Amino acid sequence: MNDKVHLLLIDDEKNYLLVLETLLTEAGYTVTALNDPETALAFLEESEVDIVITDMKMPRISGREVLERVKKNWPHIPVLIMTAFGSIESAVEAMRYGAFNYITKPFSMRELLARVKANIRRTAMLQAGAEEPAAVITAGGLSINPENYQVTKHGAPVDLTQREYELLFFLAGHPGKVYSRTDLMEQVWNYDYVGDDVRTVDVTVRRLREKIEDDPASPALILTKRGVGYYFAAQ
């Protein structure tokens, strides 16, 4: 399967880029490595790419800008953000705008491969799920339509990122069942737990509550089971 997956690497550090390109190529992926974001975005105009992996901090065009342009023009392509240790908060913020995940430099090759493989599994899972139409989920004034990925609250559209939508759809599809953060990482995004990645679950839940709850400080839809995890209110 790897030889069919095309990775686009973007990093202005040429030596670091070369190392990543070599290791990912040896792992069996098709890799295009570019150190100029503008060139990389132009490459996307003419090429089929499965995953974009971009550094967060680059001159002229940042990883955040790359992410926004990819999500606007190629929303089906997931973006993995690479960030320095001291910039984790900016990477977490990038996930609000649709990043698939982030990875902190320096990282091991095992860690990077885990994230790439997780995205491949998740994409396959979403494609398989799209083959069979699913019913609209309604609860507490909320409506989730999996046919067009639309969410409304009391009839008004709710703008969710892909990560927020996937978490909401999963929890709402299993009302009353409590899931730990690790469970959600594995079952929602089909991602093997590595390091402190479960932080992203808390961030996503907080963002979701801000968008779908009448009172985010006192949620009625996405609830917390203290010491265990999260669940969607049983209707």
| pLDDT per residue rounded down to tens, the chain (235 residues) | 455 789 999 999 999 899 999 999 998 999 999 999 999 999 999 999 999 999 988 888 888 899 989 988 988 888 888 887 655 566 666 766 677 777 878 788 887 887 787 777 766 655 555 555 567 888 888 998 877 778 999 888 898 887 888 899 889 988 999 999 888 887 776 665 555 566 788 989 999 999 999 999 999 999 999 989 999 998 6
Q: What is the pLDDT of residue 1?
A: 46
The identity of residue 198, as a single letter, is V
H or E element, residue 139:
strand 137-139
Question: 55: helix, coil or strand?
Answer: strand
* Cα–Cα distance for residue pair 44/51, rounded to 1 Å: 11
| Residues in a beta bridge with 9 | 33, 53
Torsion angle, alpha carbons of 55, 61, 66, 68, to 10: 130
Cis peptide before 37 (omega within 30 of 0): no
Q: Is 127 exposed, middle or buried (0-12, 13-18, 19+ CB in 10 A)?
A: exposed
Torsion angle, alpha carbons of 93, 230, 226, 182, to 10: -70
- Written as six digits, the tokens of 104 are 């902190």
